[in-house]
Structure 1
Amino acid sequence: MDGEALFWLELALALPALVAALALKPWRMLHGPLLTPTLAALALLPWFWLLPQQLPQGLQVQLSGASLLALMLGWPLAVPVLALVALQVWALGLHDAQTVLSQWVWLGLVPATLALGWGALLRRWLPAHPFIYTLGRGFIGTALAVFGAGLLQELAQRWLVGASLDDALVARWLMAWGDAFLTGMFCAIFVAFAPQWLATWSDQRYLSPPSD
């Protein structure tokens, strides 16, 4: 099978996610402190996604930023913001629409969704503690989400296109920790100095003393 099958798979993942996110009317969250991180994401994140196009051939360093965006804006708002980021990458970069769609799905939607699921598990099974949030969601959760998205992409390409895995999974694992380090660091900074920029953070939940 050729790349057309992969294109239809990515489209089938992207469109329902976007429709589901917009159905929740996430723009209502912009009437407050989340407007600033939203505008910052739209200004900065496209350049991280464009980075591989600016590097020498064969040197592929790719940062996602989707997990941090999901922590800051929440999944419903992060999804359309990631769509706008992808549109900027398409307008400013050299790649065609199909390649940018792949970036949107595997760099944006899938890691953001996996980060959402991981956060739900931590909320269900672990105590509400700032350390759990910053390390569990910001650092470890990002590494797992970004690597999980890369793993799913590699498996989809192998199944639909016939691409070989080779050492791709090792590279995906190593690059995931770059995202994890940045997300964990920014989470810790925002928890300390700008918790209003984290839609998934709650002082009442994480800082209130445990009830007897």
Structure 2
Amino acid sequence: MDIALLLTALVAALALRPWQLLRNRKALVTQDHGDSAPLWTPLLATLVVLPWLWALPTLHHMPLQLQWSGACLVMLTLGWPLAVPALCLVGTIAYLLSPSLEAIEALRLTVWHGIVPATLAMLWGVLLRRWLGTKVFVYIFGRGFVGTVLSLFAAGLLSAALGHQLPGVQEDLSQIAHWLMAWGDAVVTGMLCAVFVAYKPEWLATWSDDLYLHGKKP
């Protein structure tokens, strides 16, 4: 099941030729803030920082191995087509970093802490734009904060329904654990989205000045 989900998402993402985003100045939508390839910075930051966060619970003996995701932030910065292969690389690097992280666990992390919440966050963004339009508050709060909570919590529930339990957490408390972890991710994602919108909008492939500031139609 996990392998099928990963391969399906990866094939769909590669079919959209995500490497074009790293060569184009304008990312997914029309915007120009001076960088020739602005998405290289969040991509490299993802590959350097996120593997350590994914591997951290297995690098230290922790009674509660609560797992950081960061997938929704990666999706907002890179866009879904580029986020999927990036998250696959993150899972691979995390596996290489931690000698106690088994291959099957790295696969589970990649799918249920990476690809599934990133995909749900992308779909939530589509619905949000259809329902509420393109407003700055909708993007920051609706996609950055609320979207992260809902996407990660839904991914956690789906993972638990398939038998993937959190280490050290009783089954009847797993929903609470997934809910609390989703909120932690959402606070950081929403905060960084607000900072990037204000100071580094070129690092957000899902953001457009023309759409969210000037109200132009895509």
Taking structure 1 as the reference length, what is the TM-score of the superposition? 0.90
Structure 1 unaligned residues grouped into runs of 5+: 1-8, 159-163
- Of the three residues 105, 110, 118, the one matched with 2:116 is 110
1:179 is aligned to 185
- Of the three residues 15, 20, 45, the one matched with 2:50 is 45
1:24 is aligned to 16
Q: Please state whether the residue corresponding to 2:19 is helix, strand or coil.
A: helix
Q: Say whether 1:127 aligns with 2:133.
A: yes
What percentage of aligned pairs have identical amino acids?
Answer: 55
One-letter amino acid matched to 2:181 = M
Moved over 2 A (4+): 54-57
Describe how 1:22-171 pairs up with structure 2 within 5 A: 22-31=14-23, 32-93=37-98, 94-157=100-163, 165-171=171-177
One-letter amino acid matched to 2:11 = V
Distance 2:6 2:101 in 1: 18
Q: How many residues align?
A: 200
Distance 1:63 1:201 in 2: 24
One-letter amino acid matched to 1:56 = H
**Is the 1:21–1:77 contact (alpha carbons within 8 Å) kept by the matching residues of 2?**
yes
Distance 2:173 2:210 in 1: 45
Deviation at 1:28, TM superposition (A): 1.2
Structure 2 unaligned residues grouped into runs of 5+: 24-36, 165-169
The verdict on how the C-alpha distance between 1:22 and 1:57 changes in structure 2, with shifts beyond 3 A counting, is: same
> What CA deviation, in whole Å up to 9, does each residue of 1:23-51 have, x standing for no partner?
11101111211011101110000011012
When structure 1 is superposed on structure 2, of 52-61 and 21-30 the one drifting more is 52-61
**Is the 2:76–2:204 contact (alpha carbons within 8 Å) kept by the matching residues of 1?**
yes
Deviation at 1:165, TM superposition (A): 3.2
Deviation at 1:127, TM superposition (A): 2.5
One-letter amino acid matched to 1:138 = G
Taking structure 2 as the reference length, what is the TM-score of the superposition? 0.88
Q: Greater share of helix residues, 1 or 2?
A: 1
**Is the 1:51–1:61 contact (alpha carbons within 8 Å) kept by the matching residues of 2?**
no
Q: Please state whether the residue corresponding to 1:87 is helix, strand or coil.
A: helix
Q: Please state whether the residue corresponding to 1:26 is helix, strand or coil.
A: coil
Distance 2:216 2:117 in 1: 32
